[in-house]
Amino acid sequence: MNNSPFAYMRPNILGLSPYSTARDEFSGGDIDTFVDANESPYPTGLNRYPDPRHKELKGRIGRLMGVEPDRIFIGGAGSDEAIDLIYRIFCVPGRDNVIAMSPTYGVYAVSAAINDIEYREVPPGPDYRFPTDEILAATDRHTKVIWICSPNNPTGLAVPPEDIERVASAFDGIVAVDEAYVDFSPYGSVIPLLAKYRNLIVLRTFSKARGMAGLRIGMAFADPDVAKVMANVKYPYNINGPTQKELLRRLDDDISTQVAEIISERDRLTICIAGYPFVEKVFHSDANFLLVRVKDADSLYGYLVEQGILVRNRNRIPHCQNTLRITIGTPAENNRIIRALDAYRDGLRPSWKREEGRRARLERITSETKIAVYLDLDGESDESHIDTGLKFFDHMLSQLPHHGGFRLDLTCQGDLGVDEHHTIEDVAITLGEALLSALGDKRGIERYGFVLPMDESRAMALIDLGGRTDFRWDVGFTREMVGDTPTEMYPHFFSSLASAMRANLHITARGENNHHLIEGVFKAVARALRMAVRREKFAYSLPSSKGIL
């Protein structure tokens, strides 16, 4: 359709004379005394009103995205402001309707209800394909907007640009395409189609790929007449000064590596998750999440929460029975999800339960390793027993209970005939999970570090059990092997341990003798752990970082 977009607007909007801010009314000249807006003259850093027209932002965003600034609207409250404005500009309450595929992003329906607009839902095609013909068939003379979420939330599938074009050319009304996840999609944006279809509005956000959900900024790209009306209808100062500044500061951040990693992790998780016997289908995703249909979504959801993993349970929304939506995390987070799903599959759930006291008993069986761990944080370290089949590694591991002041029984039968990789990695994971489990809700523990000089070497370990996983490793080995263990396995061991026990672990060590170096590292970690898990007799509250680190 190539009608002027004014043809679809509400009469009250067409007749609007918008509020004009003090700074709107004047342009040009060299002003150094601002006494026009009743602001405080004292410089607090925030005493001046921000630019209501977002001139600098639109210029920069326009250059970044290759769009003329007069086609850009910038909204506060993320995309929600633009969604609400579309209703308020185009839809007459109590009379008009809009159409969307179901399931889709929930805000369209809620915002329709708030604005008293009828919201018509059309079921999806097979595998959640966008039902182009059915959507067009559902329109009538009061249909003002068709919502197209591409890639769609929560299903993940993108709508082919030809289909969007077909809707835009056939429909006599506004076609609003929400591209919140377009950075992850192979199709790219339909912004170039704006030049051809005056009824097209494209929504984008800084909340997803660009990593600024906390900032609450969204964008709409549209016909210049539409962008202008949106600017007239919005709250005059909808984006505050610090937010505009912060966005300008981060606008040129390069996200391409992160996006590439999310896409490759998404494809890896798709394959991993599809292999579980309790998974019925992993739907194709062009976004940064996966919709997974399982046998019993509520059960798996509850289990994952127990494991400290929160996914989105979509079981109760139409067309999504027994589905969970899982956002793609960092590789370490994704591995944690996979380990939790492994245990769910293997029925290991009861053994994950914390025993009375600060004890944990775990058994972990994979095709490569069979590991049993008993850990008692208040037990006798002398009674510990460790046997992984790797002598030197056992010697290192035994430093943990000995210097950590807890009891650790650990046996591992691994595929050492292949190599030591699986044994060392799975021991780290199981041990980390045992520590996490034994610590329970972490009452009475704190965050600690320890520096340990050992002969000519010096090792430092900092540990924080506050729940944020991070790992730093700076250890200068000069040899490839110490005893029967490759030195390259140690950073891997400690990063797996940190991730499994959800700790922030920083390790630094320097020295000439590689044996002393790694032994110093194990002892320093054990000592830091000892302090971190020590039961505080008097301060029986959840730990905080205040005054400690």
Ligand X SMILES: *Cc1c(COP(=O)(O)O)cnc(C)c1O
Binding segment for ligand X among 186-194, 200-208, 380-388, 508-516 (CB under 6 A)? 200-208
**Start-to-end CA span in the chain (Å):** 62
Helix axis angle, 331-345 relative to 256-274, nearest 10°?
10
Tokens of residue 13, six digits: 């909007």
Using CB under 6 A, which of 213, 274, 305, 481 touches ligand X? 213
How far apart, in whole angstroms, are the C-alpha atoms of residue 179 and residue 257? 20
Pick the closest to residue 93 from 174, 5, 11 (CA basis). 11
- The reply to whether 207 sits near ligand X by the rule CB under 6 A is yes
x/- mask, ligand X, residues 216-255, rule CB under 6 A, reads: --x-------------------------------------
Number of CB atoms found within 10 A of residue 369's CB: 21
x/- mask, ligand X, residues 99-118, rule CB under 6 A, reads: ------x-------------
How far apart, in whole angstroms, are the C-alpha atoms of residue 436 and residue 297? 25
How far apart, in whole angstroms, are the C-alpha atoms of residue 208 and residue 197? 27
- The reply to whether 149 sits near ligand X by the rule CB under 6 A is yes
Q: Exposed, middle or buried, 117 (CB in 10 Å: 0-12/13-18/19+)?
A: buried
Pick the closest to residue 433 from 516, 367, 507, 342 (CA basis). 342
Q: Provide DSSP, 432-486.
A: HHHHHHHHTT-TT---EEEEEEETTEEEEEEEE-SS--EEEEEE----SEETTEE
- DSSP 3-state of 295: coil
- The reply to whether 288 sits near ligand X by the rule CB under 6 A is no
- The reply to whether 487 sits near ligand X by the rule CB under 6 A is no
Binding segment for ligand X among 206-214, 274-282, 339-347, 505-513 (CB under 6 A)? 206-214
How far apart, in whole angstroms, are the C-alpha atoms of residue 22 and residue 138? 46
- The reply to whether 150 sits near ligand X by the rule CB under 6 A is no
Q: Which CB sits closer to ligand X, 207 or 513?
A: 207
Binding segment for ligand X among 139-147, 202-210, 325-333, 376-384 (CB under 6 A)? 202-210
Pick the closest to residue 146 from 124, 125, 119, 128 (CA basis). 119
Using CB under 6 A, which of 80, 165, 342, 368 touches ligand X? 80
Q: How far is CA 374 from CA 368, 465, 494, in A?
A: 20, 20, 19
- The reply to whether 153 sits near ligand X by the rule CB under 6 A is yes
How far apart, in whole angstroms, are the C-alpha atoms of residue 534 and residue 345? 34
DSSP state of 344: H
Q: How far is the CB of 149 from ligand X (least distance, A)?
A: 5
- The reply to whether 327 sits near ligand X by the rule CB under 6 A is no
Binding segment for ligand X among 32-40, 75-83, 84-92, 504-512 (CB under 6 A)? 75-83
- The reply to whether 76 sits near ligand X by the rule CB under 6 A is no
x/- mask, ligand X, residues 294-323, rule CB under 6 A, reads: ------------------------------
Q: How far is the CB of 59 from ligand X (least distance, A)?
A: 21
Q: Determine the residue with CB nearest ligand X.
A: 78
Q: How far is the CB of 205 from ligand X (least distance, A)?
A: 3
Report the chain's C-alpha Rg in angstroms: 29
Q: Which residues contact 58 (CB under 8 A, 6 or more apart)?
A: 69, 72, 74
Q: How far is the CB of 218 from ligand X (least distance, A)?
A: 4
How many residues lie near ligand X (CB under 6 A)?
13
- The reply to whether 78 sits near ligand X by the rule CB under 6 A is yes
Pick the closest to residue 497 from 332, 346, 305, 371 (CA basis). 332
Q: Which CB sits closer to ligand X, 107 or 136?
A: 107
| Contact of 261 with 253, CB cutoff 8 Å | no
Q: How far is the CB of 97 from ligand X (least distance, A)?
A: 20
- The reply to whether 183 sits near ligand X by the rule CB under 6 A is no
Q: How far is the CB of 259 from ligand X (least distance, A)?
A: 16
Q: Which CB sits closer to ligand X, 164 or 362?
A: 164
- The reply to whether 180 sits near ligand X by the rule CB under 6 A is yes
User: What backbone torsions phi and psi does residue 412 show, to the nearest 5 degrees?
Assistant: -140, 125
Give residue for tokens 């889709």.
104
Q: How far is the CB of 509 from ligand X (least distance, A)?
A: 43
Binding segment for ligand X among 159-167, 204-212, 354-362, 399-407 (CB under 6 A)? 204-212
Q: Which residues in the 160-179 window bind ligand X by CB under 6 A?
A: 178
Using CB under 6 A, which of 115, 205, 496, 514 touches ligand X? 205
Q: Which CB sits closer to ligand X, 79 or 335?
A: 79
Binding segment for ligand X among 23-31, 203-211, 241-249, 343-351 (CB under 6 A)? 203-211
Q: Which CB sits closer to ligand X, 101 or 434?
A: 101
Residues that bind ligand X (CB under 6 A): 78-80, 105, 149, 153, 178, 180, 205, 207-208, 213, 218
